[in-house]
Amino acid sequence: MGKTLAEKVLARAGGEKEVSPGQIIEAEVDLAMTHDNNGPVMINQFNRLPGAKVWNPDRVVVIIDHHSPATSFRAAENHRTLRKFAAKHELKHFFDCGEGVSHVILRQKGFVKPGMVMVGSDSHSVAGGALGAFATGIGATEMAAVLARGKLWLRVPETVKITLHGRLPVGVMARDVALFLLGQFGPDGLDYKAVEVHGSGIKGWDIEERAALCTMGVEMGTKAMMVPADEVTLVYAGVAQDLGYVPDLDAQYERDLQYDLGGLAPMVSKPFLPTNAVPVGEVLGTRIDQGVIGSCAGGSLPDLEIAARILEGKQVRKGVRLIITPSSKENWIRADEKGLLKILKQAGAVVSSPACGACGGYEIGCLAPGEVCISTTTRNMPGRMGPGGEVYLASAATVAASALAGEIVDPRPYLNERPAWVS
Amino acid sequence: MAELVQGRIWVLGDDISTDHILPSRYMAEIRPEELRRHVLEGVARDFPRKIEAGDILVAGRNMGYGSSREQAILALKAAGIKAIVARSYSRIFFRNCINNGFLAVACPGLPKGLKDREVMTIDPGGGRIQVAGEEFSCEPFPEVLLAVLKHGGLIEYLAVNPQEYRR
């Protein structure tokens, strides 16, 4: 019987010939990541294991991204704790303030490869699935154990196959597809499941766009959201040849679902769940106080490009704050080289250094009670950017256009002209 | 693990996220005595003042949705919450509970309409709970989890099984 991608990767990592859904395996971990939000709790737990050493310092990546540069005295102490831990255990891969969001760094610096088992002490670690890895989030205590053991138990999940057909209309982005799917499944609709994403709809997407989709998968509960490696993946990951980590043609899926992207509208997720997704037409005219372009599921180069296309030569509406946080130093530098940052700044945006930024109300871009924000960040639960604040989730295009209008608008009319610098 | 747990309940809804349990703005804090002051603030600002040691949380579907933050569980434990009973759990949160030796019981048949401050009894070994004069069965724990729970958490389990990690 054929196997899904998740089953093949977990069989290899578990040292089994083959595995089936429901089976519990002990998986060898290929890559482990922690950051300044959960790292300090992890270190407290690790230090309670007498004499513990890190199983393989070359397979651990530590990143300061959530409260970066240190946003409080407490954050500064946490950062110092992480630096000392990394030095003591000779962890080679340490990324300090200003390098960007962990999930983005992991792929852009070449840590994530197709077929890996990757765990991160962050739910959005599912981002690694964009490169065909089995990447999933775990807690701080579990991560302490992974650092000491190099393995963890995993229940082999059922796999749901999602095939995306057609081509996205102009002004509709990968992020809109993510919100659309979240709306289809709800907050626990794919809980504990692995998802495989297939189809002509994503063949032309670059890795950043695939990552925008996979990263948001956890908001419907997915344990792993994987795009099987293709030519785009292999070139990006610098892998010379297919490692065999593709699903069998006769793999057994729990569900096999098809969607057509051709008619998709820009989507907006209303407060207070990322899965409250509706076509933008249903929330037109909602007044906003703030727009945010950033986070592990926004703030990529395609996001900054489309924002610059919409904002070029225009001004953000008076009374609206637009905060733009490139998701990595690499994205920041490339956007700068292309002249995008200048366009964004001239339009009135605040451009901040690469980090998680306003996503979790981490002392940057917070909301006062009653204020409304439209954002490319990952979540909009109550109080996410500050108590009493409301967050609508959308694509970079919708955020940029709404920042000009001072209310939620459809970005498509703003994209009729194609500037000369768009490649 | 075999001991009965009894306490007053606080009834929450579906999809209670870790942002509800401990809003992300407190995430730079890792001291339990500080975290407890903000527990469940995302549900109601006065929640931290209502909770007493020994209370039990009752939740609907998808308890612990969202972020992997373990500070949420540190805050619940520090506030004195003894256990959670939910219709279902978000996977990272459930693992985090067990890894911290915190009793989290899945009870798909839990009725709606339970009221705050009713008294609930949990029999983790027998897989049963009693509340409002009725008895309900809970989902059994997989063996890997049972071993961790019995030791009071993953670190406690490994500390007495040092052959399982690198020293």
> How do the domains of chain B map onto residue ranges?
5-139
Distance of CA B48 to the CA centre of its chain: 16
Write down the ipTM of this complex. 0.96
pLDDT digits (tens, 9 = 90+) for A328-361: 999 999 999 999 999 999 999 999 999 999 999 8
Decide if pLDDT at B118 tops 60. Answer: yes
Picking from B14, B41, B88, B92 by the largest number of A CB atoms within 10 A of its own CB, the best residue to mutate is B92
- Reported as a pLDDT band with limits 50, 70 and 90, residue A103 is very high
**Residues A303-318 pLDDT 10s:** 999 999 999 999 999 9
Please give the backbone phi and psi of residue A325, each rounded to the nearest 5 degrees, phi first.
Answer: -125, 100
Residue A17: strand, helix, or coil: coil
Local structure of B33: helix, strand or coil: helix
- Say how far apart CA A208 and CA A305 lie, in whole Å: 13
Q: In which band, very low, low, confident or very high, does the pLDDT at B3 lie, cut at 50, 70 and 90?
A: confident
Q: Cβ(A214)–Cβ(A182) under 8 Å?
A: no
Mutate to test the interface with A, among B30, B33, B88, B90 (most CBs of A within 10 A): B30
Q: Is the dihedral of CA A326, A332, A334, A339 positive or negative?
A: positive
Touching check for A217 and chain B: CB below 8 Å? no
Nearest to B91 among A121, A144, A223 (CB): A223
pLDDT of residue A333: 98
CATH class for the domain made up of B5-139: alpha beta
| A20-39 residues touching B, CB cutoff 8 A | 24, 37-38
- Inter-axis angle of helices A301-311 and A207-216, nearest 10: 100
C-beta atoms of B69 and A37 within 8 A? yes
In this structure, are residues A146 and A241 in contact, taking their beta carbons and an 8 Å threshold? no
- Is residue A242 scored above 70 in pLDDT? no
Q: Which is nearest to A295 in space by CA: A372, A233, A361, A389? A: A361
Nearest to B71 among A41, A137, A386 (CB): A41
A321-380 residues touching B, CB cutoff 8 A: 359-363, 366, 379
**The predicted structure's pLDDT at residue A241:** 65
pLDDT of A243 higher than 90 = no
Contact list, B166 vs chain A (CB under 8 Å) = 52-55, 148-150
Interface residue A138 vs chain B (CB under 8 A): yes
What tokens were used for A119?
């765990």
Give the chain B residue nearest A68 (alpha carbons). B28
pLDDT, position A418? 67
Q: How many other C-beta atoms are found inside a 10 Å radius of the C-beta of residue B148?
A: 24
Q: Closest approach of chain A CAs to the CA of B7, in angstroms?
A: 27
User: What pLDDT does A384 receive?
Assistant: 94
Q: How confident is the model at residue A420 (pLDDT cuts 50, 70, 90)?
A: low
pLDDT of residue B1: 57
Which amino acid is located at A399 in the chain?
Answer: V
Q: How far is A123 from chain B (nearest CA, A)?
A: 5
pLDDT for A19: 98
C-alpha A106/C-alpha A115 separation (Å) is: 15
Whether residue A45 lies within 8 A of chain B, CB to CB, comes out as yes
A188 with B95: Cβ contact below 8 A: no
Beta bridge partners of A61: A33, A93
Are residues A179 and A268 in contact, defined by beta-carbon separation less than 8 angstroms?
yes
Tens-digit pLDDT profile for residues B18-48:
999 999 889 888 899 999 999 999 999 999 9
Instruction: Give the number of residues written for chain A.
Output: 423
Which among B102, B107, B106 is positioned nearest to B70, based on CA atoms? B102
Q: Has domain A268-415 been given CATH number 3.30.499.10?
A: yes
Nearest to B28 among A72, A381, A383 (CB): A72
Residue B134: pLDDT band with limits 50, 70, 90 = very high
Quote the pLDDT of residue A422.
66
Task: Say whether the peptide bond before residue A272 is cis (omega within 30 degrees of 0).
Answer: yes
- The answer to whether the A5-260 and A268-415 domains have the same CATH topology is yes
Average pLDDT of the residues in A73-97: 97
Q: Amino acid identity, residue B29?
A: E
Tens-digit pLDDT profile for residues B96-112: 999 999 999 999 999 98
Write down the pLDDT at residue A373.
98
Class level of CATH domain A5-260? alpha beta
The C-alpha atoms of residue A282 and residue B149 are separated, in whole angstroms, by 47
In A, minimum Cα distance to B161 occurs at: A49
Q: What is the mean pLDDT of chain B?
A: 94
CB contact under 8 Å between A387 and B45, yes or no, is yes
Residue B133: burial class (beta carbons within 10 Å; 0-12, 13-18, 19+): exposed
Q: What is the rounded distance in angstroms from the CA atom of residue B113 to the CA atom of residue B105? A: 19
> Inter-chain contact A140–B70, Cβ cutoff 8 Å?
yes
Best of A23, A47, A49 to disrupt the B interface (most B CBs within 10 Å) is: A49
Smallest Cβ–Cβ distance between B96 and the set A141, A187, A384 belongs to A141
Please state the domain extents for chain A.
Answer: 5-260, 268-415
On average, the pLDDT of chain A sits at: 96
Contact list in A for residue B73 (CB cut-off 8 A) is: 139
Report the percent of chain B where pLDDT is more than 70. 99
Decide if B67 and A66 are in contact by the 8 Å CB cutoff.
no
The pLDDT of residue A1 is: 85
Distances A18 to A1, A29, A150 between C-alpha atoms, Å: 10, 17, 21
A window 297-326, beta carbon within 8 A of B = none
- Interface A-B, measured as beta-carbon pairs within 8 A, has a size of 155
